[in-house]
Structure 1
Amino acid sequence: MNRLSDHSEMLFNSPFRLSFSLLLVMLLAGCQEQAWNNPHPDEDGDARILYSSFSSRPKHLDPARSYSSDESRFIDQIYEPPLEYHYLKRPYELIPNTLTEMPQIEYSDAHGNPVPEQSPLVAYSTYVLTIKPGIHYQPHPAFALGSDGNPRYRFASARDSQEYQSLEDFTETGTRELVSDDYIYQIKRLADPANLSPVRGLLAEFIVGMDEFGDRVTAIRKERPRNQRWVNLDDLDMEGLERLNDYQFSIRLKGKYPQFRYWLAYHFFAPVPELVDEFYNQPGLADRNIVLDWHPVGTGAFMMTRNDPNEVIVLERNPNFREDLYPSEGEKEDEANGLLAAAGQPMPFLDKVVYRLEKEAIPLWSKFLQGYYDRSGIGADSFDQAVSVGSQGIRLSDEMIEKGITMEIEVVPGTYYLAFNMLDPIVGGQRPHNAPRLNARDAKEHQKTAERARKLRQAISIAFDQEESISIFANGRGEVGMGPIPPGIFGYQTGRNGLNNLVYDWVDDGNGGGRAVLKPIEYARKLMAEAGYPDGRDADTGKPLVLNYETTSGGGNSNQIWLIKQFRKLGIELNIRSTDYNRFQEKIRTGNAQIFSWGWMADYPDAENFLFLLYGPNGQVATDGAGVNSSNYSNPEYDRLFDRMKLMPDSPERMAVIRKMLDIFQHDAPWGSVWHPHAYVLNNPWVKNTKAHGISQSVLKYIDIDPEMRDRVWAERNPPVITPLLTVLGLLFLLGLGGYLAWRKRLQVKVFHD
């Protein structure tokens, strides 16, 4: 009996036991519905969860401070400015968001008397905004009230708040209705220099009293002790803001600024109540990172419930979100693409959005193909796997089609360009903006210098094959531009009408269409000779022409070799000077660069937001680095037309002015080449209602998923691979069997001797 017990104990404490346990685990895992390697444990049952990723932590989540698209992808789902963009319509169309209607605009003279919009006496524009009643904030401890009706959480000192180490420690929450005071308070926050809003300087040029308000707040703060610097902005009036009632307020601007309506769709103008500002400015909370810049509070479709930038950021449906219905109209192709199938349904469709930290592109791409991320861009390493390029253009690869993956392609409202520093005597030949007038003799000499530089720039523009550059370095994800304005923005023209005929020729295809092609390189060499550089040598000295191209240290060798080749076509020796980004910016800011590449992404979809990149008063040197005109280009006629164009509504008259400005730009050639990038986004088959927007990031409320399809495809794409496990089990079995036989032999010998 004892020997039988020993035998049994040996059996189940031997490798047999381990093999049996592993086999049991394998069988139990095979019975689970989820794939073994699923990085998203399904803790919410049938909840609609979108899985995405981020590569670096958002630096600012305060709507007054954030000016990054990487941050906007989070906070634009949480905050609601007065206006928003129609999700489906192109060109971009502004519509009311929290307002009952589009803002009403009233014009007045310097004495406050009403005048017509077109009157030359317009001194002020007053925007009157009316808020929809019944909009409530997300649950938050800032709105929690005690039994006395006062805020539940108020601390007199850092010691009093010591027990609250994180926002989750505030267990009581509340909400309240959105009112006009909240929008007014946020605009005052933009004016407060302590908040370091990146748009304060620009807006102060237009919003009445903004600078003066900032000065008053700063003076008050200086008079207070260092630990009591918070100022209740509700206690201070700002001249350009007026509360009309609980749901109506006005903003007064200097003169006319038609583009201001676009700013009203930015999160900068999203409401932040005084209660929230006061809550986060209590003693001790900032020391524990309990601040608005880390924990946003809004009325939007989602709220941030977890902010762990070392692992995951989570947005969840705002339970207090107002009624907001999916659009019932769009473009012609939207219905064919199924984008109107959800028309009239309440949003958001998603219950949660989970962003996981992914620093490397290859693991991210692999997880997308496995189905563990719902959407993905296309990196350079995965481009050939994702798409194929042929005579019909770019399309999805067969592998992607077999997986049911779809692709969105949209021209991003942005412009990249090869810039010449127009203050450089060789490639620019231009005098600084507002420089003193020259006498007749000097003006004539300067004109010769400017003309030589212009022909040199034009020759380089012809030699620089932007189409080839897009093909090689952007995988074809872009299109050659003829001017600063990208597609989708009023003022952009296609085909022959928009052709830069000083650099390109138009080749008809015989069917009423055609394409632009660079002028022959021989023509560029002729321009070089006229500029005084035949075969790339100075006609007077015989020395080779050497030009400097500034770039950041991140430029690759293949890119640099290609650049050198473009200039070598004209006999020009290109000296590439690489430096770090801060030093590069300093060179641009001080006008110490000669040739460089730069870019601009739209703040708002208006021609003014691109044509101002060439406006003389915006020159980097003229503004000590504050302007956006990186090439320091200045042309009095262009500037005069810009001042007229920026105040005009989109109309045939405005188009005519823009066309004249583009003619001047193309003639002067301050940029050697232009291109507009394309955005490629892949969607797994269970993702619905997606349409690339380009301007707005507030798109999550429109997107939906089919969780049942996702679970099914997860299982199909990630079948359990049990061969390695079976191999291990086989080895363990053989080892166990050998041990068991040896033990039996020893046991038999022992019994024999006994």
Structure 2
Amino acid sequence: MLQRNGLLFLAVTVVLFGLQVSTVAQPAPPVPAPVAPAKPAAEGTKTLRIAFSPSESPTLDPHAARDPFSFRLIATAYETLYMWAPGEHPHVVPCLAKDFPQVSEDGLTVTIKVDTDAKFHSSECFGEERTRNLKASDVVHSFKRLAVYGDNGMYWLIGGLIQGLDEYASKARYDMNYETTDTKVEGLTAPDDGTVVIKLTRPYAPLVTMLAHPSFSIIAREAIDHYSGMLDERMVGTGPYRLNAVADGRLYVFKGWDDYRGEKPVFKRVTFTRRNYWNEFIEGFQSGQFQEMPMWADYYDRVVKDGKPAGVLAKTATEVVQQDEHGYYFLAFNMEDPIWGAMDDDGRALRKAVSLCIDRKQILEDAGWTAGWNGAQEDLFPTGMEFEDADDELAYGKSDIALAKKTLNASKYKGGVDPSSGDALTLSFLIYDTSRILEQYANLYNQLIVNLRSGLKALGMKLDVRYLDTTNYREEVTTADEQLFVSGWFLDYPDPANFLQLFWSENAKTSLEFNNASRYHSPEFDKRFLEYESLAPVEGNLARRRELVSAMAGEIAKDQPTIPLVHKRTIFLRNTGTQEWPQMPRQTYNDIRFVKETDK
């Protein structure tokens, strides 16, 4: 998407990052007077209060959402068949499903038993009964609704995987007479109230982790029909919290649901409140009005020093949480090019030399991307991915011009010269027209060009840049003849398959968000990827899944089809005096239900 959220051609990049906490200078409010540190909440005070930025424009509709903040709101009241649980190792557990699926021998038929003891929140959509128990047909209707929303939501996550669902969605979107609710889909059925049967187009065990994403939240059929286009502000879910009030996108109030079937939430209420100015945030945080708030770049030095609370927050129970974004920008070589994509030792050396010659930190500095809020991407795997440490020894994104020269000179391209012609090699680079994107991103890519050209010159090579005057960059990349492209990925959920699919050869054929932009084709990688896709994310498969992820990382590092560039960082403040926050990646989105009280 994350947010991915998905493969980011640059026009989408502008939209997605516009949803992050604003770093644009706000009108400078007066520095608030010091406020006494907040006292621990009195016993019985059970409200968890979270502040959010005015740059957020959330929706409560799980099938139309595309941004992380919306997903967090959605996961507070809705539930999915499976969910992520906190701990040192992120893992999925059954939620609205009774257990992990039963899978046929060929891996194509997935049978899931749903928890029919789960009840929907009280709503007028159910008539006099006000509620009812979950049925398998609710899962079918919810998934079909997600499919109809298509690119307006996150359907692309599962696009092409369920037999007949793409065809159903296409007809439902464009044929106004098509019955979108009751039309049967071959690969998505509910033979009885407690059973969902999914027929896949190929074996895909990571389906379980995908179904933990908030986009696959289950909505009652009656709510879909009754509220229709109003589900951006209405919620009829099964979660431990129910929506109590909404105020024009400025305030969201959730209350603990007394009839919840599982462990009751610790906090009786959870509020998300928008604040427009820094002094509103900091005064609310100091006084105990908020337990979590976003950090603004312009005010960072006032309240943070060396990563610790400072200034008016110096002696408060405040934690400064700094997290690398769960994805990064990268360059992709055209692996179909006979020179730059060659899968021999000389081709590998050429690509590694180019990667080594790029000074990522210098690019950030020259582009004006503040170091505390951005970083050079040195690893292959993004932060927050399961088994992300499996690439620790690879130095995939290392910058070292001396090593770049040594690597290149050990190949047949010594001094950057093509031995077949005697001329200096030229690397052709296709990039989006930087005059059509936000200034901060234009600065980044313009400085990338400057830095790359300088690095190639030091190696004896040249750079030729073509600016693409179109919004269809991702589609163009699938067939373009240039030798280098710009791309990016942000984890939608922690399963490694969500990232490693970018290197599977079959995805070079698609222009969807998970496109293999480098057109990388490694039989060894593909073999391991398909085995990984056959293993359910359960404890018994943990060791083998890690082995496969490590082996795939080794193949990618050997071949160097991509060049990691930079990532952004998120910084926010949390009160740790009365709350204990769960240990789980942010892109699981369902952390609110696991927040506990503490007496420290």
- Determine if the alignment matches structure 1 residue 103 to structure 2 residue 100: yes
Deviates more, 1:548-557 or 1:597-606: 548-557
Q: Whose radius of gyration is greater, 1 or 2? A: 1
Matches of 2:155 and 2:391, distance apart in 1: 36
Tell me the residue number matched to 1:299. Answer: 238
Please show how residues 188-199 of structure 1 align to structure 2 within 5 Å.
188-191=144-147, 193=148, 198=153
Tell me the residue number matched to 1:84. Answer: 83
- Determine if the alignment matches structure 1 residue 267 to structure 2 residue 214: yes
Does the 8 A contact of 1:81 with 1:98 survive in 2? yes
Matches of 2:292 and 2:530, distance apart in 1: 43
Matches of 1:676 and 1:206, distance apart in 2: 30
Counterpart of 1:256, as a letter, is P
- Determine if the alignment matches structure 1 residue 458 to structure 2 residue 442: no
**Deviation at residue 698 of structure 1 after TM alignment:** 1.8
Matches of 1:526 and 1:262, distance apart in 2: 43
Matches of 1:463 and 1:364, distance apart in 2: 45
Tell me the residue number matched to 1:315. Answer: 253
Tell me the residue number matched to 2:331. Answer: 418
Does the 8 A contact of 2:335 with 2:519 survive in 1? yes
Tell me the residue number matched to 2:506. Answer: 617
Task: Quickly say closer, same or farther: Cα 1:483–1:143, change in 2 above 3 A.
Answer: same
Matches of 2:280 and 2:334, distance apart in 1: 40
Tell me the residue number matched to 1:347. Answer: 265
Tell me the residue number matched to 2:165. Answer: 210
- Determine if the alignment matches structure 1 residue 124 to structure 2 residue 97: no
Tell me the residue number matched to 2:119. Answer: 136
Task: Quickly say closer, same or farther: Cα 1:387–1:536, change in 2 above 3 A.
Answer: farther
Task: Quickly say closer, same or farther: Cα 1:104–1:625, change in 2 above 3 A.
Answer: closer
- Determine if the alignment matches structure 1 residue 176 to structure 2 residue 146: no
- Determine if the alignment matches structure 1 residue 376 to structure 2 residue 293: yes
Please show how residues 353-364 of structure 1 align to structure 2 within 5 Å.
353-356=271-274, 358=276, 362=278
Matches of 1:238 and 1:558, distance apart in 2: 47
Q: Which of 550, 564, 585 is matched with 1:673 structurally?
A: 564
Does the 8 A contact of 1:259 with 1:606 survive in 2? yes
Tell me the residue number matched to 1:492. Answer: 389
Does the 8 A contact of 1:136 with 1:177 survive in 2? yes
Task: Quickly say closer, same or farther: Cα 1:78–1:208, change in 2 above 3 A.
Answer: same
Tell me the residue number matched to 2:26. Answer: none
Does the 8 A contact of 1:587 with 1:593 survive in 2? no
**Deviation at residue 546 of structure 1 after TM alignment:** 6.6
Matches of 1:188 and 1:304, distance apart in 2: 24
**Deviation at residue 347 of structure 1 after TM alignment:** 0.5
Unaligned 5+ residue runs, structure 2?
Answer: 1-33, 36-43
Does the 8 A contact of 1:136 with 1:178 survive in 2? yes
Does the 8 A contact of 1:414 with 1:601 survive in 2? yes
Does the 8 A contact of 2:430 with 2:468 survive in 1? no
Say which SS state the counterpart of residue 187 (structure 1) adopts.
helix
Cα deviations across residues 694-721 of structure 1 (Å, max 9, x unaligned)?
2321222333679x99xxxxxxxxxxxx
Task: Quickly say closer, same or farther: Cα 1:315–1:625, change in 2 above 3 A.
Answer: same
Does the 8 A contact of 1:528 with 1:570 survive in 2? no
Please show how residues 473-488 of structure 1 align to structure 2 within 5 Å.
473-475=370-372, 480-484=377-381, 486=383, 488=385
Counterpart of 1:138, as a letter, is H
Matches of 2:385 and 2:566, distance apart in 1: 14
- Determine if the alignment matches structure 1 residue 73 to structure 2 residue 64: no
Task: Quickly say closer, same or farther: Cα 1:584–1:207, change in 2 above 3 A.
Answer: closer
Matches of 1:217 and 1:558, distance apart in 2: 41
Say which SS state the counterpart of residue 389 (structure 2) adopts.
coil
Matches of 1:90 and 1:272, distance apart in 2: 31
Counterpart of 2:61, as a letter, is D
Task: Quickly say closer, same or farther: Cα 1:560–1:241, change in 2 above 3 A.
Answer: same
Cα deviations across residues 106-125 of structure 1 (Å, max 9, x unaligned)?
424xxxxxxxxxxxxx2533
Matches of 2:446 and 2:473, distance apart in 1: 16
**Deviation at residue 315 of structure 1 after TM alignment:** 2.4
Matches of 2:209 and 2:512, distance apart in 1: 25
What percentage of aligned pairs have identical amino acids? Answer: 20
| Aligned Cα root-mean-square deviation (Å) | 4.3
Does the 8 A contact of 1:107 with 1:126 survive in 2? yes
Does the 8 A contact of 1:383 with 1:475 survive in 2? no
Tell me the residue number matched to 1:525. Answer: 405
Say which SS state the counterpart of residue 102 (structure 2) adopts.
strand
Task: Quickly say closer, same or farther: Cα 1:385–1:140, change in 2 above 3 A.
Answer: same
Say which SS state the counterpart of residue 295 (structure 1) adopts.
coil
Counterpart of 1:382, as a letter, is Y
Counterpart of 2:503, as a letter, is L
**Deviation at residue 317 of structure 1 after TM alignment:** 0.7
Counterpart of 1:696, as a letter, is T
Matches of 1:307 and 1:532, distance apart in 2: 65
Counterpart of 1:258, as a letter, is A
Matches of 1:422 and 1:182, distance apart in 2: 44
**Deviation at residue 410 of structure 1 after TM alignment:** 4.9
Say which SS state the counterpart of residue 529 (structure 2) adopts.
helix
**Deviation at residue 50 of structure 1 after TM alignment:** 0.9
Q: Which of 539, 550, 554 is matched with 2:431 structurally?
A: 550
**Deviation at residue 72 of structure 1 after TM alignment:** 0.6
Does the 8 A contact of 2:80 with 2:217 survive in 1? yes
Deviates more, 1:198-207 or 1:636-645: 198-207
**Deviation at residue 261 of structure 1 after TM alignment:** 0.9
Counterpart of 1:136, as a letter, is K
Task: Quickly say closer, same or farther: Cα 1:530–1:697, change in 2 above 3 A.
Answer: same
Matches of 1:400 and 1:180, distance apart in 2: 50
Counterpart of 2:589, as a letter, is Q
Say which SS state the counterpart of residue 295 (structure 2) adopts.
coil
Say which SS state the counterpart of residue 530 (structure 2) adopts.
helix
Matches of 1:561 and 1:488, distance apart in 2: 29
Does the 8 A contact of 1:367 with 1:373 survive in 2? no
Aligned length: 542
**Deviation at residue 248 of structure 1 after TM alignment:** 4.4
Tell me the residue number matched to 1:564. Answer: 450
Unaligned 5+ residue runs, structure 1?
Answer: 1-34, 37-44, 109-121, 150-173, 326-345, 431-446, 505-517, 710-754
Instruction: Give TM-score, length-normalised by structure 2.
Output: 0.75
**Deviation at residue 464 of structure 1 after TM alignment:** 2.2
Does the 8 A contact of 2:187 with 2:200 survive in 1? no
Does the 8 A contact of 1:365 with 1:382 survive in 2? no
**Deviation at residue 293 of structure 1 after TM alignment:** 3.6
Matches of 1:578 and 1:640, distance apart in 2: 36
Does the 8 A contact of 1:103 with 1:127 survive in 2? no
Tell me the residue number matched to 2:192. Answer: 244
Cα deviations across residues 257-306 of structure 1 (Å, max 9, x unaligned)?
2101112322333222222222134xxxx5xxxx2244232122334455
Q: Which of 593, 606, 620 is matched with 2:495 structurally?
A: 606
Task: Quickly say closer, same or farther: Cα 1:317–1:589, change in 2 above 3 A.
Answer: farther
Task: Quickly say closer, same or farther: Cα 1:404–1:593, change in 2 above 3 A.
Answer: farther
Say which SS state the counterpart of residue 564 (structure 2) adopts.
strand
Counterpart of 2:158, as a letter, is L
Cα deviations across residues 389-424 of structure 1 (Å, max 9, x unaligned)?
4xxxx5444654323321335555434433334356
**Higher RCO structure, 1 or 2 (CA under 8 Å, sep 6+):** 2
Task: Quickly say closer, same or farther: Cα 1:695–1:102, change in 2 above 3 A.
Answer: farther
Say which SS state the counterpart of residue 587 (structure 2) adopts.
coil
**Deviation at residue 324 of structure 1 after TM alignment:** 3.6
Matches of 1:185 and 1:610, distance apart in 2: 28
